[in-house]
Amino acid sequence: MKRPLTGNISCISENSFREPGNSDLVHDTMILGRCKHGYHGGYPAGFLERARLLLVGGNKDASIWHIPGGRAKEYNGIRGGVYLTGFGKNDKTIDLDPKCNPDFCIDVRKIEEHFVLQENGTLTFIPFPDQDLFYNTTKESSFIQNLERPKAIIIDRPYDEENADRYAPGRNTLPNLNKLLIDCLNLVDRGFLVGVLDYKWPNPSPSIQFEEVSVYSVGTGRGCSARWFTIWRKR
């Protein structure tokens, strides 16, 4: 469906049953809980459930790629008394730190070199060794062919150089937000969405190949920095 740039999004039909306590209405402003698994910069509690509604209509089987992924795999479970379920069983993470156990341990600044679109619409993953300390060359030691394209992508990079220094790869590997957004839009098929969670509101060069469709502010309470969650569609 055509999503408005702003405005509340109802993710169920008028005749659908709404379970008590479950949120299926995403407002312009998300006021969420803080990250529950103790990883610096991790998703706020409740964010992935809402992001999944907005990006893939709540489909739990749809594969969302998390770029960089950090420890997004640890999102689900009972955390601080809150039951979280937003990370899907077919989701994948991409990160440069092997300690985060990513599905693809690569530098996200080089995504276009690692994932090559084939004529049949699938992706081929091309690993290559690198002397960088943070490459896990043993895990991804062979090509992966006929890899299905993601149904959506969430970009959640370190937001600035100071935050990047809190992670093992450091500020020298901080990706440019606009370039990363365009690279991720090139990974998804036409009509599919890429969400960006960041301090910055992305401003890529205008293109007929993509459009911005939604903007939300994301906060975790008083005294905490707010973020933007913007959603982009590939045309």
Least confident of 13-17, 80-84, 123-127, 131-135: 13-17
Q: Dihedral of CA 77/83/87/88: which sign? A: positive
- Please determine, for residue 199, whether its predicted confidence score (pLDDT) is greater than 90: yes
Give the pLDDT band of residue 206 (cuts 50, 70, 90): confident
Which domains are assigned to the chain?
23-108+150-234 (3.40.50)
Give the pLDDT band of residue 114 (cuts 50, 70, 90): very high
**What pLDDT does residue 25 have?**
57
Long-range CB pairs of 140-144 (<8 Å, 24+ gap) are 140/104, 140/105, 140/106
**What pLDDT does residue 11 have?**
45
Helix (H) or strand (E) holding 218: strand 210-219
pLDDT in tens, 23-67: 455 568 998 988 766 666 679 989 999 999 999 999 999 999 999
pLDDT in tens, 148-162: 999 999 999 987 788
* Segment 13-19 mean pLDDT: 44
Of 121 and 9, the structure prediction assigns the larger pLDDT to 121
Percent of the chain surpassing pLDDT 70: 80
Distance CA 215, CA 6 (A): 6
**What pLDDT does residue 24 have?**
53
* Segment 126-140 mean pLDDT: 57
Residue type, 160: D
